[in-house]
Structures are given as C-alpha cells and as structure tokens.
Structure 1
Amino acid sequence: MTFINKYTSQVLVHILFWMLFVFVSLFLFSDFYWKENPFLQYVSLLIAIVYLNNFFLLPFFVKKKLYVLYVLVFAGISFVATQLYCYAFAKCGCTIIKCLSDYLWQSLTPLIFFSFVWILYRFIDKQEEVDAVKKEHAEMELKFLKSQINPHVLFNNLNTIYSYSIEKPNETPELILMLSDNLKHVLYESNEKTISLEKEIHFIDNYMKFQTIRTEGVKRINYNKSIDSYKYQIAPLLLITIIENAFKHSVLNSEINVNIEVKQGVLSLECQNDFDKEKVTTTDLKIGLQNLEKRLALIYKEDYDFNIDKGEVFKVSLKLNLK
C-alpha cells in the first residue's frame, strides 16, 4: 500500500465514521439532542479527545510498552468524558452510575474504534517493513548467488581464446566478438531481474560454441534447441549453471547432451553427462546446483521443477513457466 493510498484511506475512514456516529446519535435521540441537549458541541470535544489519544497517548504508551497503564488512562479518559457530557453539556442531574449506563457508549465508541484503526494501520506498516526487509535480503542473496557464476563463465572463454590465438590466430577475432557479447551479457544485462529469452539463448549459443572448440577431454557434444517463440522473459544466468556444471564435472571422454525446448510458454532444459560417482558429491558441485535451486525458489516460487538424476549418467532437468 503506497503512502498516498494509505493516507487517503485513513482520511475516508475517519470522515465516514464521524458522519455515521453523528447521524446515528441524532436519529436515535433526535428530539432530545436537538431541543435540550447540545450534543454537537460535545462531539467537538470528543473529537479533540479521540485525536489526543491517537496522536499522542496511544503511540507513547505502545512505544514504551506500558499497556496496563494505557488501559487505566483510557478508562479514566472515558469516565471523565462521560461525566463531562452529563454535567457540563446535557446537565441531566443524574447519578454517576446512571450517567455511565446511559452515555458511556458515546465516549467509548469513537475511542475504541479509532484505537483499533490506529493499531490496524500500525500492523500494516510493520508488515510492509518486514516485507521490505525480506525483499532486500532476497535481492542481496540473488546478487551474491549470481556473482558466483560470473567468473567461471568468463575465465573459461578467455582460456579458449588464448589457446586459439596461438594455434589458429586467424579465427581469434570471431571468438573475441563472441566473448564481447558474453561480457556484455554477464556484466550488464544479467543485472536486470529478467531479460528477453532471445538474449539468454544467444548467450548459451556462444557458450556452446566455445565449448565445441575446447574439445579436450570431451568425446562428443550434442546441443539441440526447439523454441516456438522468443517473446518471453527469463531470469538471467539460470541455464548456464546447469550447462557449465556438465562440462566442469564430466569425466574424460564424456558425451555431453544439452537439450533446450520452449513450448507454449514452458521452458525445458535437460543436460546429461558421464560422471564419476565417487566425485559427484564434491563440495563445489553441490554448491553450484544448490545455489541454482535457491535462485529458482526466490524468483519463480512454485513455477519451476528442478530434478537431479544420478543414474548411469548425471542428468539435470529444469522446467520453467515463462508465462
């Protein structure tokens, strides 16, 4: 709730209550109030008491956590206001008990109502503060998790370019342009909450080209795409974590399969690689995929499905609802 909306709603609540309170009082006791009882003058005093309570007494006692003392002060104000009404305004000449039984509700109704309104809006404010802190914490955690991805991707690309600059210098400029695209994506575009699916897939394409060039230790790389539309948005640097994990932790002469499909707003990524079962529980492997799952939970809530299968091959599957 924005400040303007909150302020407007409070003003409307106050205006509507006082209009209803005066209307009901005059409707129920119209003859008495209009002819013999200066009720409207008393309402002016009651308004002053109510806002003294709301703006000064209630905030002070709640801040100091003097709840019992506040109840006593509240009861005292209600008693004095009722007696003041009986003897100074209505001049009914009735006993204290009779005065309380007949007129206490007039003092209590607005005091209790506006105290409740104050507590309600204070609760809303506190809840918004908690939500803001949670959101800030989530954003900081996302930035931290994302920052752990960036170095791996870039260093691998630099190593590839270095090797090519020695062995095939004529093809190096193309690789430098690809690296430039990847740098732009990792350093700038990835700072956005979401980016276009087309940019993310283009980043993956470049990465896979680099990996195809770096054939050492890899028997075969199969990279397949089937995308019915690029109109969707996606959180940056999610897919690369799974794909890079396959290359980083595959065994010698491994076959790596990467399949990406986007159909009717659902993205499916399946990545397979041969692995050493004795090393699959290493810390860096677990941290990478655990960080990814944390990011998925923070960003996509219930709109994702993430599975790891450690069978004959190491298979990671991800489904994202991009709609």
Structure 2
Amino acid sequence: MLTIPREPRPSLGAVRDALAALLEKRHEPARPDDLDARDPAFVSRVLPLLGLLYDDYFRCETELEEDIPEGPFLAVANHNAMTGTPDMFCHMVAYWRRYGTTRPAYGLMHDVPFHFPYAGAWLNAGGAIAASPDNARRALDRGAAVLVFPGGDMDACKPTRAQYTIRFGGRRGFVRAAIRAQVPIVPVVSVGAHQSLYIATDGRDIAERLRLPELLRSNVAPIGFALPWGLILGVPLPHLPPPVKVHTRILRQIELDLPPEAADAPGIVEEVFQRVVGVMQAALDDLRRQGRHGLFPRREMGIRALGAAPRGR
C-alpha cells in the first residue's frame, strides 16, 4: 500500500499569495456548467494553503492500491460526514500532489454551494461542476478524471451509527455514465470525518413532509449536534468540524469491458453496481478495523510513502 506523503510547511510568502489568489477570485461569478471555469493557475497558487489544512488540520492520509490510470476515468466515492467536511477537497489535494494541477480533473457537486458568497467561484476554479449526467459526459469526453459521490445527501447525512456503511440508495447513474463513456471506475473510500459531528437520524421522513426534495433538492432533514450550531434540526447547513483525522483509500480501477449499449441493460447495470459497492464496503470495513482516523486515531504503522515527485506540474 502506498500513501501520498506530507509536504514541508509552506513559506509565509506562499500562504500570502494563496490568500491573495482567493481575494482576486472572490468577485468572479460561479459558472457551474462551464468546464472552462477550472483554473489550474489558481489551484497552484492556493495549494500551499490547502496543504496546511490537509496535513495539519485534517491530518489526511491518502493511500493508493495502485496508481490511477492515464486518461479519463470515473472516481466513485462515499461521503464522509455532512456538508462542513470537504470530501472533495481532501481527495483533490491528494490528486493534485500526485498528478499535478494541469491534468484535467473535475468533481460533480450539488448546485447549492455554488450560490454561497465567494465559495462558488473558488469551487468552480478548483474543478467543481454541477452534478448532472451531461456535465459528467462532457468532462469524460475531454479526457478528464471525474469524481462523483452517488450517495449525495443520503450518504453524507447518514446517522452516526451507520458511518461505516456505503449508502448509494437506488442511484445507479454513475454505472450507466461509465459504461456509455467507456471509462473505468476508480472506487474511493474515506473515513474519519463523520466523527466531526453527531447525527441521530437523517430525517428523510421529515424532509418529505416539508417538501425539501422539491424546494431545496434535499432528501434529508438531519437531527443531531454539530459546531457551531449546537443542535441541528432540518436543512444540513455546513458545520465547523474539529480536527478529525481523515483516512482515504483509492482502490484499484474496475475495468468494465462492456459495450456502450450495456448501459441500457438493467441486469448488467445492477451487477456492476453491486461489484463497485462490494469492493468499497470491504475497503471501508478494513479502514474501520485499522482505526487510523477520527478524533482519536490509532498510531500509524507500516505505511510506505510514494517517493516519486508529482507529475504534470
């Protein structure tokens, strides 16, 4: 097993330049469906600041079973806690460190964060695009890596007692997208950040009664406790996570070896779906046993760091 190594802490000048890049970008409008909004130069400038959060706050540990493939692929990840913990941020920092900021990569994201003040432009510049089958197809057609969280809010807001389960529900669109685009699937599992808050229930029944799926595109109304709100009731607003350790594993790619028309065969789609969820659940179970995550992680042992310099910068 290989892991993305820590980097030296950035200089004060590099941090200042990262902050300047954020200030310069903040007034730009978000363009959720525009693939050209991704800005590799911006990413390179803010990466030192993001690296501080990655290394020293979330103490991210990202392992790879093997190097991810050249060319386009669909990375399929579980959600690791609610909206305040940036799963996509953790995964993308590891990706940029290993493969550089110029190699095209996008993350499919719910459209609500694009409307947050300043955040929409920053996320957009980092490669976030609105989650839709069309955006996924266009990005894959460009030869890019595309990251998707099929479970969405149902996976992110699952009760704390279910934090070590993959919850994709009936969402199998990612399988059809990969088959039609003729690209492999790269499963990604992550643990630890769910311990940054407590969720008693995802409140799906409450969400339906309040018509949240129609009004806010939210299928959940979680009840629990999180900083800085204290008691959380209803709409999953971003929370302020304490410094929980995040442990991520990027699994071996799954080659589908299927014709595009197989995307319209429910039996084949279901078989691929169960295969993907099965390997992800097994890896999640292994990360749970190792315990190198959360508020009180076990001591790290037996990890070999990748010695090669990142490519593509």
TM-score, normalised with respect to structure 1 = 0.22
Q: Which has the higher contact order (CA 8 A, sep 6+)?
A: 2
Bigger Rg, structure 1 or 2:
1
Bigger helix share: 1
TM-score, normalised with respect to structure 2 = 0.23
